[in-house]
Amino acid sequence: MNEVVVTSKRGGSSGKRDMDDLELPMFDFKIITMATNNFIEANKLGEGGFGIVYRGRLIEGQEIAVKRLSKTSGQGLEEFKNEVKLIARLQHRNLVRLLGCCIDKDEKLLVYEYMENRSLDSILFHKARKPLLDWNTRYDIICGIARGLHYLHHDSRLRIIHRDLKTSNILLDSEMNPKISDFGIARIFGQNQTEANTLRVVGTYGYMSPEYAMDGNFSVKSDVFSFGVLVLEIISGKKNRGFCYTNDDMNLLKNVRESDSSIRIL
Protein backbone atom coordinates (compact mmCIF):
# COMPACT_ATOMS: atom_id res chain seq x y z
CA MET A 1 0.00 0.00 0.00
CA ASN A 2 1.38 3.40 -0.94
CA GLU A 3 1.55 5.93 1.90
CA VAL A 4 0.78 9.63 1.65
CA VAL A 5 3.35 11.89 3.29
CA VAL A 6 1.96 15.24 4.44
CA THR A 7 1.81 17.54 7.40
CA SER A 8 -1.13 18.89 9.36
CA LYS A 9 -1.29 22.37 10.83
CA ARG A 10 -4.19 22.17 13.27
CA GLY A 11 -5.31 20.00 16.14
CA GLY A 12 -3.50 19.35 19.36
CA SER A 13 -3.18 15.96 21.00
CA SER A 14 -0.85 13.03 21.39
CA GLY A 15 -2.73 11.33 18.55
CA LYS A 16 -1.80 14.07 16.09
CA ARG A 17 1.69 12.68 15.71
CA ASP A 18 0.15 9.49 14.31
CA MET A 19 -1.73 11.53 11.70
CA ASP A 20 1.26 13.32 10.21
CA ASP A 21 1.00 11.25 7.01
CA LEU A 22 -2.55 12.37 6.20
CA GLU A 23 -3.08 14.89 3.41
CA LEU A 24 -6.09 16.60 4.93
CA PRO A 25 -6.95 19.63 7.10
CA MET A 26 -7.12 18.93 10.82
CA PHE A 27 -10.08 20.53 12.62
CA ASP A 28 -9.83 21.71 16.20
CA PHE A 29 -12.10 19.70 18.50
CA LYS A 30 -13.51 22.90 20.01
CA ILE A 31 -14.59 24.09 16.55
CA ILE A 32 -16.45 20.83 15.90
CA THR A 33 -18.06 20.91 19.35
CA MET A 34 -19.36 24.41 18.65
CA ALA A 35 -20.54 23.47 15.15
CA THR A 36 -22.62 20.54 16.44
CA ASN A 37 -23.85 22.44 19.54
CA ASN A 38 -21.95 20.02 21.76
CA PHE A 39 -23.26 16.98 19.86
CA ILE A 40 -26.85 17.44 20.97
CA GLU A 41 -29.42 14.76 20.15
CA ALA A 42 -31.35 17.13 17.87
CA ASN A 43 -28.35 17.25 15.51
CA LYS A 44 -28.03 13.49 15.26
CA LEU A 45 -28.31 12.28 11.65
CA GLY A 46 -27.72 8.59 12.11
CA GLU A 47 -25.84 5.90 13.96
CA GLY A 48 -23.78 2.95 12.79
CA GLY A 49 -21.45 0.32 14.16
CA PHE A 50 -18.50 2.72 14.27
CA GLY A 51 -20.22 5.75 15.75
CA ILE A 52 -22.77 8.55 15.41
CA VAL A 53 -23.09 11.15 12.64
CA TYR A 54 -24.13 14.69 13.58
CA ARG A 55 -25.19 17.71 11.60
CA GLY A 56 -23.17 20.85 12.19
CA ARG A 57 -22.65 24.40 10.98
CA LEU A 58 -19.29 26.12 10.93
CA ILE A 59 -18.89 29.76 11.96
CA GLU A 60 -18.83 30.88 8.31
CA GLY A 61 -22.18 29.15 7.74
CA GLN A 62 -21.08 25.99 5.94
CA GLU A 63 -23.12 22.91 6.89
CA ILE A 64 -21.17 19.76 7.66
CA ALA A 65 -21.72 16.17 8.75
CA VAL A 66 -19.49 14.97 11.60
CA LYS A 67 -18.83 11.30 12.15
CA ARG A 68 -17.87 10.85 15.81
CA LEU A 69 -16.31 7.44 16.26
CA SER A 70 -17.47 5.46 19.25
CA LYS A 71 -14.74 4.71 21.77
CA THR A 72 -16.03 1.12 21.95
CA SER A 73 -16.67 0.61 18.24
CA GLY A 74 -13.59 -1.47 17.56
CA GLN A 75 -12.42 0.98 14.89
CA GLY A 76 -9.01 1.94 16.11
CA LEU A 77 -6.54 4.52 14.90
CA GLU A 78 -5.41 2.37 11.97
CA GLU A 79 -8.96 1.96 10.60
CA PHE A 80 -9.54 5.66 11.13
CA LYS A 81 -6.37 6.52 9.22
CA ASN A 82 -7.39 4.05 6.51
CA GLU A 83 -10.69 5.80 5.92
CA VAL A 84 -9.05 9.24 5.87
CA LYS A 85 -6.30 8.20 3.46
CA LEU A 86 -8.69 6.57 1.04
CA ILE A 87 -11.27 9.34 0.83
CA ALA A 88 -8.68 12.12 0.77
CA ARG A 89 -7.21 10.67 -2.43
CA LEU A 90 -10.52 10.07 -4.20
CA GLN A 91 -12.35 12.66 -6.30
CA HIS A 92 -15.64 11.71 -7.95
CA ARG A 93 -19.13 13.19 -8.06
CA ASN A 94 -20.60 9.95 -6.69
CA LEU A 95 -18.28 9.67 -3.68
CA VAL A 96 -18.84 11.65 -0.50
CA ARG A 97 -16.30 14.47 -0.03
CA LEU A 98 -14.22 14.47 3.12
CA LEU A 99 -13.45 18.00 4.34
CA GLY A 100 -11.15 17.17 7.22
CA CYS A 101 -10.63 15.19 10.40
CA CYS A 102 -9.83 15.59 14.08
CA ILE A 103 -8.01 13.65 16.78
CA ASP A 104 -8.16 14.96 20.34
CA LYS A 105 -7.08 12.56 23.08
CA ASP A 106 -9.45 9.61 22.64
CA GLU A 107 -11.78 11.47 20.26
CA LYS A 108 -11.63 10.63 16.54
CA LEU A 109 -13.87 12.54 14.12
CA LEU A 110 -14.38 12.83 10.38
CA VAL A 111 -15.87 15.96 8.81
CA TYR A 112 -17.84 15.45 5.58
CA GLU A 113 -19.89 17.58 3.24
CA TYR A 114 -23.50 17.65 4.41
CA MET A 115 -26.01 15.64 2.36
CA GLU A 116 -29.45 17.26 2.55
CA ASN A 117 -31.43 14.07 1.91
CA ARG A 118 -29.32 11.95 4.25
CA SER A 119 -28.97 8.23 3.52
CA LEU A 120 -30.84 6.20 0.92
CA ASP A 121 -32.35 3.86 3.51
CA SER A 122 -33.95 6.80 5.37
CA ILE A 123 -36.13 7.41 2.29
CA LEU A 124 -36.37 4.03 0.58
CA PHE A 125 -37.68 2.21 3.66
CA HIS A 126 -39.66 5.11 5.15
CA LYS A 127 -43.37 4.91 4.40
CA ALA A 128 -43.94 8.66 4.32
CA ARG A 129 -40.79 9.56 2.35
CA LYS A 130 -40.76 6.64 -0.11
CA PRO A 131 -43.01 8.46 -2.65
CA LEU A 132 -40.10 10.88 -3.22
CA LEU A 133 -38.42 8.07 -5.13
CA ASP A 134 -40.26 7.72 -8.43
CA TRP A 135 -38.91 5.34 -11.03
CA ASN A 136 -36.73 7.93 -12.82
CA THR A 137 -35.13 8.94 -9.51
CA ARG A 138 -34.47 5.31 -8.58
CA TYR A 139 -32.92 4.67 -11.98
CA ASP A 140 -30.65 7.71 -11.63
CA ILE A 141 -29.59 6.60 -8.15
CA ILE A 142 -28.69 3.14 -9.44
CA CYS A 143 -26.66 4.65 -12.30
CA GLY A 144 -24.89 7.04 -9.92
CA ILE A 145 -23.88 4.24 -7.54
CA ALA A 146 -22.63 2.22 -10.52
CA ARG A 147 -20.50 5.16 -11.70
CA GLY A 148 -18.97 5.61 -8.26
CA LEU A 149 -18.26 1.90 -7.93
CA HIS A 150 -16.70 1.75 -11.41
CA TYR A 151 -14.43 4.64 -10.44
CA LEU A 152 -13.29 2.82 -7.28
CA HIS A 153 -12.58 -0.40 -9.17
CA HIS A 154 -11.15 0.88 -12.46
CA ASP A 155 -10.74 4.64 -12.91
CA SER A 156 -9.08 5.96 -9.74
CA ARG A 157 -5.35 5.89 -9.09
CA LEU A 158 -6.04 3.09 -6.63
CA ARG A 159 -8.16 -0.03 -7.01
CA ILE A 160 -10.41 0.04 -3.99
CA ILE A 161 -12.76 -2.63 -2.66
CA HIS A 162 -15.39 -0.97 -0.48
CA ARG A 163 -16.58 -4.14 1.35
CA ASP A 164 -19.63 -2.50 2.96
CA LEU A 165 -21.84 -1.21 0.17
CA LYS A 166 -25.41 -0.86 1.49
CA THR A 167 -28.32 1.59 1.52
CA SER A 168 -27.22 3.34 4.72
CA ASN A 169 -23.83 4.04 3.12
CA ILE A 170 -25.37 5.75 0.09
CA LEU A 171 -25.94 9.45 0.81
CA LEU A 172 -28.21 11.72 -1.23
CA ASP A 173 -27.66 15.41 -1.88
CA SER A 174 -30.36 18.04 -2.41
CA GLU A 175 -30.98 16.80 -5.97
CA MET A 176 -31.02 13.11 -5.00
CA ASN A 177 -27.57 12.46 -6.48
CA PRO A 178 -26.09 9.41 -4.72
CA LYS A 179 -22.66 9.41 -3.08
CA ILE A 180 -20.91 6.35 -1.70
CA SER A 181 -19.68 6.85 1.88
CA ASP A 182 -18.00 5.05 4.81
CA PHE A 183 -14.62 3.69 3.72
CA GLY A 184 -13.59 2.47 7.17
CA ILE A 185 -13.14 -1.16 6.12
CA ALA A 186 -12.25 -0.58 2.45
CA ARG A 187 -9.05 -2.12 1.08
CA ILE A 188 -6.59 -1.10 -1.62
CA PHE A 189 -5.55 -3.71 -4.18
CA GLY A 190 -2.22 -3.73 -5.97
CA GLN A 191 -2.04 -3.21 -9.72
CA ASN A 192 -2.08 -6.92 -10.54
CA GLN A 193 -4.03 -8.10 -7.49
CA THR A 194 -7.43 -9.64 -8.16
CA GLU A 195 -8.51 -10.95 -4.75
CA ALA A 196 -7.54 -11.18 -1.10
CA ASN A 197 -8.42 -13.16 2.01
CA THR A 198 -8.98 -12.14 5.60
CA LEU A 199 -9.66 -13.97 8.85
CA ARG A 200 -11.53 -10.90 10.14
CA VAL A 201 -14.73 -10.73 8.15
CA VAL A 202 -16.37 -7.34 8.63
CA GLY A 203 -19.29 -5.75 6.85
CA THR A 204 -23.04 -6.28 6.82
CA TYR A 205 -24.67 -9.68 6.45
CA GLY A 206 -27.18 -9.72 3.64
CA TYR A 207 -24.92 -7.56 1.48
CA MET A 208 -21.84 -9.78 1.71
CA SER A 209 -21.04 -12.20 -1.09
CA PRO A 210 -21.11 -15.84 0.07
CA GLU A 211 -17.37 -16.40 -0.49
CA TYR A 212 -16.57 -13.38 1.65
CA ALA A 213 -19.07 -14.12 4.44
CA MET A 214 -18.07 -17.77 4.75
CA ASP A 215 -14.41 -17.92 3.68
CA GLY A 216 -13.13 -14.35 3.94
CA ASN A 217 -12.35 -14.09 0.22
CA PHE A 218 -13.06 -10.68 -1.29
CA SER A 219 -12.52 -8.96 -4.64
CA VAL A 220 -14.17 -6.55 -7.05
CA LYS A 221 -16.87 -9.20 -7.41
CA SER A 222 -17.73 -8.84 -3.70
CA ASP A 223 -18.72 -5.21 -4.25
CA VAL A 224 -20.63 -6.18 -7.39
CA PHE A 225 -22.63 -8.69 -5.34
CA SER A 226 -23.45 -5.97 -2.80
CA PHE A 227 -24.42 -3.65 -5.64
CA GLY A 228 -26.81 -6.32 -6.94
CA VAL A 229 -28.52 -6.46 -3.55
CA LEU A 230 -28.76 -2.67 -3.57
CA VAL A 231 -30.37 -2.70 -7.02
CA LEU A 232 -33.00 -5.22 -5.87
CA GLU A 233 -33.77 -3.09 -2.80
CA ILE A 234 -34.05 0.11 -4.82
CA ILE A 235 -36.32 -1.45 -7.44
CA SER A 236 -38.52 -3.40 -5.04
CA GLY A 237 -38.55 -0.97 -2.13
CA LYS A 238 -38.10 -4.00 0.14
CA LYS A 239 -35.38 -4.28 2.76
CA ASN A 240 -33.04 -7.25 2.57
CA ARG A 241 -33.33 -9.36 5.73
CA GLY A 242 -29.87 -10.87 5.52
CA PHE A 243 -29.47 -14.52 6.47
CA CYS A 244 -32.06 -14.54 9.26
CA TYR A 245 -35.79 -14.48 8.71
CA THR A 246 -38.80 -16.40 10.00
CA ASN A 247 -41.02 -18.75 8.03
CA ASP A 248 -43.53 -15.94 7.63
CA ASP A 249 -41.00 -13.64 6.01
CA MET A 250 -39.78 -13.72 2.44
CA ASN A 251 -36.18 -12.90 1.69
CA LEU A 252 -35.49 -10.17 -0.83
CA LEU A 253 -34.85 -12.41 -3.83
CA LYS A 254 -38.03 -14.42 -3.28
CA ASN A 255 -40.01 -11.21 -2.86
CA VAL A 256 -38.75 -9.90 -6.20
CA ARG A 257 -39.45 -13.20 -7.96
CA GLU A 258 -43.02 -13.23 -6.69
CA SER A 259 -43.70 -9.62 -7.68
CA ASP A 260 -45.81 -9.99 -10.81
CA SER A 261 -45.96 -6.34 -11.92
CA SER A 262 -43.94 -3.13 -11.83
CA ILE A 263 -46.68 -1.52 -9.72
CA ARG A 264 -46.37 -4.17 -7.07
CA ILE A 265 -42.56 -3.94 -7.09
CA LEU A 266 -42.51 -0.17 -6.56
The answer to whether 179 touches 95, Cβ cutoff 8 Å, is: yes
Give the model confidence (pLDDT) of 95-107 as tens digits: 999 999 998 988 9
Q: Which of 72, 13, 66 minimizes the C-alpha distance to 37?
A: 66
Q: Is 133 helix (H, G, I), strand (E, B) or coil?
A: coil
Question: What's the confidence (pLDDT) of residue 71?
Answer: 77
Taken as a whole, the chain contains a residue count of 266
Q: Which fold has domain 14-113?
A: Phosphorylase Kinase; domain 1 (3.30.200)
Task: Could you list the residues known to form a binding site, using ranges.
Answer: 67
Instruction: Please report the pLDDT score of residue 22 as a whole number.
Output: 60
Model confidence band, residue 135 (pLDDT cutoffs 50, 70, 90): very high
CA 119 – CA 45 distance, rounded (Å): 9
The pLDDT value recorded for residue 46 is 86
* Average pLDDT of span 24-39: 94
User: Between 81 and 23, where is the model more confident?
Assistant: 81
Residue with the bigger pLDDT between 43 and 75: it is: 43
pLDDT at 252 over 90: no
- Binding residues for ATP, as ranges, are 67
What pLDDT band is residue 81 in, cutting at 50, 70 and 90?
confident
Asked whether residue 8 carries a pLDDT value surpassing 50, the answer given is: no
CA distance 4 to 23: 7
Across 122-150, average pLDDT: 96
**Beta-sheet strands, E only, within the chain:** 44-48, 51-57, 63-69, 98-104, 107-113, 159-161, 170-172, 178-180, 187-189, 195-197, 217-219
Question: For residue 210, is pLDDT > 90?
Answer: yes
Catalytic residue positions? 164
Q: According to CATH, what is the number of the domain 121-265? A: 1.10.510.10
Helix extents (H) in 46-129: 77-88, 121-124
Q: What's the mean pLDDT in 115-127?
A: 95
Hey, what long-range contacts does 85-90 have (CB within 8 A, 24 or more apart)?
85/3, 85/4, 85/21, 85/22, 86/158, 86/160, 86/183, 86/186, 86/188, 87/183, 88/4, 88/22, 88/23, 88/24, 89/4, 89/23, 89/156, 89/157, 89/158, 90/151, 90/152, 90/156, 90/158, 90/160
Q: What is the pLDDT of residues 225-245, one digit of tens each?
A: 999 999 999 999 988 875 444
Confidence of residue 73 (pLDDT cuts 50, 70, 90): low
Share of residues in the chain with pLDDT > 90 (%): 59
Q: Answer with the residue of higher pLDDT: 31 or 85.
A: 31
Burial of 89 (0-12, 13-18, 19+ CB in 10 A): middle
pLDDT of residue 78: 73
Per-domain boundaries in the chain: 14-113, 121-265
Q: Which of 99, 44, 88 has the alpha carbon at shortest distance from 68? A: 44
Rounded (10°) angle between helices 135-150 and 220-236 = 170
pLDDT of residue 117: 95
Position 191 scores a pLDDT of 80
User: Which pLDDT does position 257 carry in this prediction?
Assistant: 62
